[in-house]
A and B are shown apart, each in its own frame.
Chain A
Amino acid sequence: MYIPPPTLIFLVFSYLLFLLSVEWAMQPHGAWYRPLLICFLVIGLAAWSFREQNSDEL
């Protein structure tokens, strides 16, 4: 199985983002929409990662 590098980058980045931002997003006095902002960021990264590219899926 071949995973395209952008997909790997996306997976690693999303995981790190989750680890680093969960505390910030859930701060009691923080803006309520912070978790939604993180979701937008992950989706943006996914859109870049899944742009049209060659794949080795046979």
Chain B
Amino acid sequence: MNFELSTLFALGVGYLVILFGIAYITERGWIPERVVRHPIVYVLSLGVFASVWSYYASTGNAFRDGFGYLAPFIGISLAFLLSPLLLRPILNLTKTYQLSSLADLLSFRYRSPWAGTLTTLVMLLVVMPLLSLQIEAVATTVSLLSPDASQTTLAITFCLLITLFAIFFGTGKGSGRERHEGLVMTIAFESLVKLLALLAVGFFAVYKGFGSFDLMEQWVREQPELLRRIKEPAAPGTFQIMVLVFFSAAVATPQMFYMTFHENNHPRALSVASWGLPLYFLLLSLPVLPILWAGLRSGALTPMEYYPVTLGSHYESELFTLIGFIGGMSAASGLIIVITLALSTMCLNHLILPVWQPSARQDIYRWLLWKRRALIAALIWGGFLFYYIPDNQQSIRAVSNTGLIGSLQFLPAIVALLYWPKGNKKGFMAGLAAGTAIWFIFLVLPVASGTNFFTLGNMNTREIVALSLVCNIALFMLVSLLTRSSTEERISADICSVDNLRRQRRAGLTASSPQEFIAQLTKPLGERTATREVMQALRDLNMDKQESRPQALRQLRSRLEANLSGLLGPAIAHDLIDRFLPFTSTSESVSADVTAIESRIEAYRSNLSGMAADLDNLRRYHRQILMDLPLGVCSLGPDEQIIMWNHAMEKLTGITTEEAVGMHLSEIGSAWYKLLNKFLHGETAHQHKLTITVNGGKRYISLHKAVIEKSTTRRIEQDGIIILLEDLTETELLEEELAHSERLASIGRLAAGVAHEIGNPITGIACLAQNIRDETSNDELRSMARQIIEQTDRTSRIVQSLVNFAHSGSHNKADQRHEIVQVATCIEEAIALISLNKKGKHMHFDVHCETNARILGDSQQLLQVLVNLINNARDASPAESTISIDCERIAASIQISVSDEGSGIPEAIRDRVFEPFFTTKEPGEGTGLGLALVYSLVENLGGHIDIMNATAKRNNPGARVVLSFPCYDESLNKS
């Protein structure tokens, strides 16, 4: 059965147009995101691995090797079934450090641009024959179905369409970092098409070739030779070698690395792929044997590799022939697209950029985009030349089969990067070079040229493969053990090793702000790119552009390196960041960044289980103890960066933990820095009652410190200093108040004694003076007697004041009256009493008092307090000015304030105004006991007195005395 070329051409072009359409509508967001991001789509996209060799070659392999045809499926399935051990750790690395190819990963791990270059070159050798094989398969299929057609024209058209597709939907915006959802969707669609096509052809083989499944079984049982071939074990080691080759191909081939890691949208998708992809390959391998048997039964003369396509024509079914053709084309096109995308990035990052970089004046993104597009085209057309030039098409098939074995040479380095931190770049390159050389000289060259230039006795293919792998591993280990790894390699090994957390060093940076980052990166990248990259990194980390904490800047640097790695490859990105954003010279000695480790554990909290979860809970418990400790705890690294800052420190300093952690000590404010820095560098480990003035208030702080010694254990390499801050301010204030009260009490006792002793003689003197005044007619003597009486009156008033003061200080609480006092009434009464004194200045009173303001206490005492305060206010204010009296309820207290319009109280004497006998009035005008008495009475009433300048709102420099008393609340008091 032959087809018109135009029919096949229309079908092929139509199919590729559908691919364009799927990619386009996905990129435009017309397909719901939940579909595009579904793990099944990811699993199907991984089906790209099932290319021509699985679609076509499986039937031939099944005939030759029996169940050995399952070896490729089993190999790649094993890699996914063991994903927690291999693929998951690599996925974490590639996502964190934006590594999009195996060359990126290896050059990142072994910190050598040469590692990336060597990997890319070997990879080119491995996959170029594979590319040409896909083109050849499509061209041969068409020539089988339409013998008159020109294979070359068809191959050129196919390559042209694939080139356009890969360029439009595979290069995105040019940065190379973003996922290509349109591409993933298309590849998933292609995988689905080839699976359905193969299953349909298998179904057709069973029911058209044999009539039913039972009849097929019966036919097979009648073919003992065929059954024997199927179940006969392959030559020792062949099956295992094939499994191993395809196991390593799951990670080491560019298309699988690209789809598995770069296009992965969620780690969960990899979990689904762990069983989903093996299931896909198993479904793909189910129809292989029925197709083979149906083909054999039909007596078809076409090569059995092409049975999936030609079976339909053998049984006169156009539909199934075309289904087979579409399936084959989807298998070939998907692989070409993904391989070229992956290889173009590898070639750009590891072959072109190391020798040719865009200048800072150029638009880097555009430059990269066009280079990538050119590389895609070059690779596809290079594959075409590989197909077109050789005369013997068989050699392409043989070289591509042998080529896949080359990917096995990367397996030791991949396993070592996760599980053997001692491996280094010299070992890796020596092993890879040796293994690749053996593979190339003894396997590729003889197959490609048809001549054995060198021979290794009578060794067969599998023995040569084993030899290359053994040499690779032996040299890798030997050279790694005999040579030293650089510091960077050790850090990188730590990062990649599955047993370690990703560690950051707590080192200082020469750039101290994002602006300086931009300025530094402008030199190699240009201002536009530098700004865009720094802003992108800030957005990724949810950071502010004003950020200046060293720890945050370190995170920013790492993020920038990762982002640039996705753009330019890890080697260039690392070199660029190292040169333009270097650490300070002391970086080598500093220890790991505990905060970074903690935040990483924090991010993975919900993922922890078992003993790890218990350990994490224990860590949290101990941390919480430190955080909630009522003492301020501040832990510093050796470089004086703040590592821990607990809640008490937050309260004390007003700096939150988020702000403080990562700061240098000098950034916490000059007052605290002076205090802590002096203590930090002092010799004593304890200092008591140091004073610090913060926000105008004096605080009393006791300091204690302990040095965290660097342990000899490798796992505990932290050192630094822990400082404890004990806030004694309240204790000190209480002590001061107590001392003040004690002083008042002693003065009161003294006053009472003095009053008693002076009162009696004064009364006697006054009586005698009155007698002289009343009984003498001598005017001069009477005048003197009057003066004596006036002076004794004055002395009596002072003595009375002393007695009052003494009594106020020694009031027995039990004798004190406890009544409900209406504050408004007391204020009115006090103003009335003051107004009675006509000798004083005339004043205005501005009273605002809540009517329900009540306190519990002695109304006479409150009255006396108010009279004294209003008196003082009147004395301090100019005539006709206003004295404001406010009373309001604030929460559970009553606040009474008396403000005047005088000159206020100078700061220097504010602390002394409540001391007995302290007065600012002229001699003879005040006793200095008024405010002392007020203080004492307010204390008796359970209140608090404060004195300050009047509010600025009133533009008044006068004084304001504020009294606070517990509010009387009827409902509370009843209960």
Contact = CB atoms under 8 A, between A and B. Distances in A.
Contacts of B499: 1
A9 interface: no
Interface string B561-604: 00000000000000000000000000000000000000011001
Interface in A35-54: 35-36, 39-40, 42-43, 46-47, 49-54
Interface in B220-267: 220, 227-228, 230-231, 233
B40 to A, nearest CB: 13
B498 A1 contact: yes
A7 B855 CA distance: 73
A11 B84 CA distance: 11
Given A28-B231, A36-B286, A43-B282, A50 B610 contact: no
Contacts of B612: 2, 56
B227 A28 contact: yes
Contacts of A50: 83, 271-272, 274-275
B607 interface: yes
B501 to A, nearest CB: 5
A54 to B, nearest CB: 4
Chain B: interface secondary structure? helix
Interface in A1-58: 1-4, 7, 10-11, 14, 26-28, 31-32, 35-36, 39-40, 42-43, 46-47, 49-58
Contacts of A39: 70, 74, 278, 282
Contacts of B138: none
A24 to B, nearest CB: 12
Contacts of B67: 26, 35
Nearest to B216: A32
B230 A32 contact: yes
B484 to A, nearest CB: 26
B84 A55 contact: yes
Contacts of B975: none
A48 to B, nearest CB: 9
A2 B282 contact: no
B609 interface: yes
Nearest to A44: B275
B609 A54 contact: yes
B84 A43 contact: no
A3 B610 CA distance: 11
B606 A54 contact: yes
A17 to B, nearest CB: 13
B563 to A, nearest CB: 22
Interface stretch (B85-93, B172-180, B511-519, B925-933): B85-93
B215 to A, nearest CB: 14
B714 to A, nearest CB: 18
B220 A35 contact: no
Contacts of B349: none
Contacts of A11: 82
Nearest to B277: A43
B81 interface: yes
Contacts of B268: 52
A57 B278 contact: no
A2 B615 CA distance: 13
Interface in B79-106: 81-85, 88-89, 92
Contacts of B274: 46, 50
B618 to A, nearest CB: 15
A57 B220 contact: no
B608 A32 contact: no
Given A7-B84, A28-B227, A57 B607 contact: yes
Contacts of B272: 50
Contacts, number: 87
Nearest to B89: A57
Contact of A40 (B70, B282, B607): B282
Contacts of B278: 39, 42-43, 46
A58 B499 CA distance: 9
Contact of B608 (A3, A31, A56): A56
Interface residues of B, number: 44
Contacts of B84: 3-4, 7, 55, 57
A31 B285 CA distance: 16
Contacts of B613: 54
Q: Of A10, A31, A54, which is in contact with the most chain B CB atoms at under 10 Å from its CB?
A: A54
A39 B83 CA distance: 17
Interface string B284-320: 0110010000000000000000000000000000000
A14 B600 CA distance: 34
B228 A52 contact: no
Contacts of A51: 271
A14 B274 CA distance: 14
A36 B285 contact: yes
B606 A32 contact: no
Nearest to B81: A46
B832 interface: no
A46 B612 CA distance: 24
Nearest to B280: A43
A40 B77 CA distance: 12
B279 interface: yes
A4 B612 CA distance: 12
B227 A52 contact: no
A57 B275 contact: no
A50 B942 CA distance: 69
Given A35-B67, A36-B282, A56-B608, A26 B498 contact: no
A56 to B, nearest CB: 4
A1 B85 CA distance: 9
B601 A58 contact: yes
> Which of A27, A50, A51 counts the most B-chain CB atoms under 10 A from its CB?
A50
B859 to A, nearest CB: 70
Given A36-B286, A46-B278, A56 B610 contact: yes
Contacts of B233: 26
B275 A43 contact: yes
Contacts of A26: 67, 231, 233
A35 B307 CA distance: 23
B85 A46 contact: no
A51 to B, nearest CB: 8
Contacts of B608: 54, 56
Contacts of B81: 10, 14, 42, 46
Given A7-B84, A50-B274, A57 B610 contact: no
A53 B289 CA distance: 37
A57 B418 CA distance: 13
Given A3-B85, A7-B84, A57-B88, A35 B70 contact: yes
Interface in B497-537: 498-499, 501-502
A55 to B, nearest CB: 5
A43 B67 CA distance: 18
Interface string B57-88: 00000000001001000100100011111001
Contacts of B607: 54-57
Contacts of B227: 28, 32
Contacts of B89: 57
Interface in B325-373: none
B271 A32 contact: no
B285 A46 contact: no
Contacts of A14: 81
Given A1-B499, A54-B608, A47 B92 contact: no
Q: Which of A10, A43, A54, A58 has the most CB of B within 10 A?
A: A58
20 contacts: A1-B498, A10-B81, A11-B82, A32-B227, A32-B289, A35-B70, A36-B286, A43-B275, A46-B81, A46-B278, A47-B275, A50-B271, A53-B609, A54-B607, A55-B607, A55-B609, A56-B609, A57-B89, A57-B92, A57-B604
Smallest CB-CB A-B distances: 10 pairs: A54-B609, A46-B275, A47-B275, A56-B612, A50-B274, A50-B271, A1-B498, A26-B231, A43-B279, A43-B278
Given A47-B275, A58-B600, 14 more contacts: A3-B84, A4-B84, A32-B227, A36-B285, A39-B74, A42-B278, A43-B279, A46-B275, A54-B608, A55-B609, A56-B604, A56-B607, A56-B610, A56-B612
